[in-house]
Amino acid sequence: MIGELAALGAAISWTFSAILYRKALQQTKPISANIIRLSCTSAILLVFLIAIGKLGVLTNLSVNVAVLAAVSGAVGLGLGDTLYMLSLKLVGVARAVPITCTYPLFGLLWTVVFSGEAITLGVGLGTVAIVAGIWLLSYEKEERPATVRRQISVKGIAAALATALLWSVSISMMGLAVEETPSLDQALIVNVVRASAIGLLLLVFSPIIDRGHGFLKVERKTVATLIAGGLVALGLGWFFLTFSFTETMASRAIPISSTTPLFSAFAGVVLLHEKISVRSLVGSVVVVAGVFLIFLP
């Protein structure tokens, strides 16, 4: 039960971080925002490790676990998030989000192939229900000229599918990284290594990927918003997900972690007084039903 609740905590954390990211991205480019988010957040997480006396756990980390965590960050936070931004630009939120949120289906496949987990009927049905519900929650009609749709749809959809695939691989690698010595400390360290590796990589290549060092010219208020979002998403959200792998099977944690659109819809109704459509209501019910099926023993 603790593992499943931790996965829910990840989904809720990503809901709030997305709100902060949307606000910050109105003032800066995605690549500049990503450099600030990852480099500053990973630095704060490293300082946090030192403050709580856990630096020794980091230095004693096995090479195998360190490589898995670092590659997971490069694949998920680097390549995956970049393709996600590309898909958003090409086909918009209405089409990109539902496709990228199919990553639990890929994750289910990896847990069977690489971890040899036995997938129960409840977990299988719950995963499908969550993906279907997210599709209903996220999908909106989007008007674009037919000529534009033909030119961008294939590339945008391919980018969204690649995003889902990369995210699923990255998350599965995190699961493998904590399998060696599943514990709270291991979950914390793996999460820090994952963020720090890609944060350092982006800084090294910033002259190429962010010409003119745009990330150094971002206003302080925007930087603070990005750091806050990074701490919520990377410090809390990804830690919760990593910790969930130490307490429950990945096949249960991954689909639960993908329920962020459900909490986003709820936040929109409660905080922004948005009206909920029939499609969103049905999607919410389906997602909740899927989570319930996964929670069943």
**pLDDT tens digits for range 118-145:** 778 888 888 888 888 887 876 655 555 5
Instruction: Please state whether the predicted TM-score (pTM) of the whole model is above 0.75.
Output: yes
Is the pLDDT confidence value at 254 over 90? no
The mean pLDDT value for 14-32 works out to: 82
Give the pLDDT confidence score for residue 224 in this predicted structure: 94
**pLDDT tens digits for range 207-246:** 888 888 888 889 999 999 999 999 998 899 999 999 998 8
Give the pLDDT confidence score for residue 148 in this predicted structure: 47
Is the pLDDT confidence value at 270 over 90? no
Give the pLDDT confidence score for residue 92 in this predicted structure: 67
The mean pLDDT value for 153-172 works out to: 87
Domain ranges of the chain: 2-295
**pLDDT tens digits for range 184-194:** 888 888 888 98
Rounded CA-CA distance 142/158 in Å is 18
Cα radius of gyration rounded to whole Å, the chain: 19
Is the pLDDT confidence value at 16 over 70? yes
Alpha helices in the chain (DSSP H): 2-24, 30-51, 55-59, 63-73, 81-100, 103-114, 121-138, 146-179, 184-204, 206-209, 220-230, 238-247, 250-257, 260-271, 278-295
The size of the chain, in residues, is 297
